[in-house]
Structure 1
Amino acid sequence: MSRRVVCLRHGQTLWNVERRFQGHTDIPLDETGVAQAARAASLLAYLRPDMIVSSDLQRALHTARALGGATGLDVAVDKELRERGGGEWEGLTREQISERWPREFAAWEAPGGEDVADVAERVSAAIRRWAAQVEPDGLLVVVSHGAAIRLGIAKLMGLPQEHWPALGGLGNCSWSVLEEGRKGWRLMEHNAGTLPEPVQSDDSPEATRT
């Protein structure tokens, strides 16, 4: 038996709809996001998580508390699970960013924002730290943000930085499932919205669990 981590992205916000860079700006869930959080909670509760930890930003924390209410678990808070800081881009739309900073937009490097390597390091370290507090066959749910989750997963899996873009993003209230195997962390589900199915395959001596 091995530890699992479900990385859940927060529900929708108005800035998501308007395609604005959120970063560390503390934007609440909109009405749709609240409903998404309730749906995700009703599904993930069936996995019987042992622990829930969330970014301190309210869009993630409110999503996490929906799951906490469905499971009876308290929600721990860790600011290291915050989204990538967007510097001068926060609050601006993609169109505004591309017009004002065409070169930086192409590289997706915000002036005054966080470097992707720094985000990957802090998020992966936070996941490892919290996962270590769960029993060897336990389940941790981490509620965070799209870029933070993607970068943290890439770092946990040991992918070279030039390959990080190969890992796609997550929709609002979608999740990814990591499992701690004999040779490190493995990505079992990505950008999912349904509960994981067991996998029997000739690819590995191990079978995944529901």
Structure 2
Amino acid sequence: MTDTTILLIRHGETAWNAVRRLQGHIDIPLNAQGERQAMALGRALAAEALDAVVSSDLQRAMQTAQAVAAHHAGLSLQTDAQLRERAYGVFEGMLYQDIQDEYPADFQLWQARDIDAVMPHGERLAESFRHFYQRVIGALQGVAARHPGQTVAVVAHGGVLECAYRAARGMQLDSPRDFQVKNASINRFTVDHGKLALTSWGEVDHLVLSAMDDVI
């Protein structure tokens, strides 16, 4: 079987990203900066030979993915709820500082990377990092299985990109995150028999000021 190539992309910036408010499954749209990032991303990928565009079903990812699909006639946007960000329970909608102040014990477990810790449930049920990781890798393997030998743009969330990076690098789930996950970045993987390999990480040349100026 020929490898599937996945261009894994984090959605553009939202107002909550800018102030470090945790989103999780709350459906927040792109802000003006995120819209500009999405436009620049779409233009940067216009010459890529894409066979499909797949997105999380949350609007910040879908808006970003639509900017990519717009440059590829005949490609309709596919959505997959399994590509959503991690569910953070009661933490969702809170500023990081407020989480630390109001839920110090749970915050400490989260920051200590206890991969089986589950935050207090809120309007939505929380999930452990281990469960989230298994969900994400299964979703990416599913994308590859549905598109063998093809090139697919997948637009998702920071946590999703982190899981993919860890899988491709063989990193322990509880090890510190020593890599950046940037909004609207392009990150290239191949998938062979369900195994992810990383070929390029953190492409953001399309977001330099000169490139962004051209899409304002």
* Worse overlay, 138-147 or 103-112: 103-112
| TM-score under structure 2 length normalisation | 0.81
1:178 equivalent in structure 2: 189
How much does 1:107 deviate?
2.5
Amino acid at match of 2:53: I
Query: Superposition RMSD on alpha carbons, in Å?
Result: 2.1
Q: Indicate yes or no: 2:120 matched with 1:111.
A: yes
Alpha-carbon deviation of 1:59?
0.3
What are structure 1's unaligned runs of at least 5 residues?
Answer: 196-210
Distance 1:191 1:106, change over 3 A: farther
Instruction: Please tell me whether the aligned partners of residues 164 and 196 of structure 2 are also in contact (alpha carbons under 8 angstroms).
Output: no
- Is 1:120 the counterpart of 2:133? The answer is yes
Structure 2 residue aligned with 1:132? 145
Deviation of 1:182 after TM superposition, in Å, equals 8.4
Residue 114 of structure 2 corresponds to none
Q: CA deviation at 1:167?
A: 5.4
String of CA shifts for 1:128-172, please: whole Å, max 9, x gaps.
111122242x21111100012212442355543234x34524111
Query: 2:53 touches 2:76 (CA, 8 Å); kept in 1?
Result: yes
- Whether the aligned pair in 2 keeps the contact of 1:116 and 1:151 (CA below 8 Å) is no
Q: Is the 8 A contact 1:121 1:155 kept in 2?
A: no
TM-score, normalised with respect to structure 1 = 0.84
Distance 1:91 1:162 in 2: 25
Q: 2:86 and 2:193 mapped to 1: Cα distance? A: 30
Superposed CA offset, 1:24-52 (max 9, x none) = 00001111111100101111222221111
C-alpha distance in structure 1 between counterparts of 2:76 and 2:196, whole Å? 26
- Alignment equivalent of 2:97, drawn from 85, 95, 98: 95
* Distance verdict in 2 for CA 1:116–1:169, change over 3 Å: farther
CA distance in 2, matches of 1:48, 1:93: 40
CA shift at 1:122, angstroms? 1.0
Question: Equivalences for 1:1-210 in 2 at 5 Å?
Answer: 2-72=3-73, 73-108=75-110, 110-112=119-121, 113-136=126-149, 138-155=150-167, 158-163=170-175, 165-166=176-177, 168-180=179-191, 184-194=195-205
What's the CA shift string for 1:165-192, capped at 9, x where partnerless? 3452411101211123589321112222
Aligned position for 2:113: none
Distance 2:193 2:93 in 1: 43
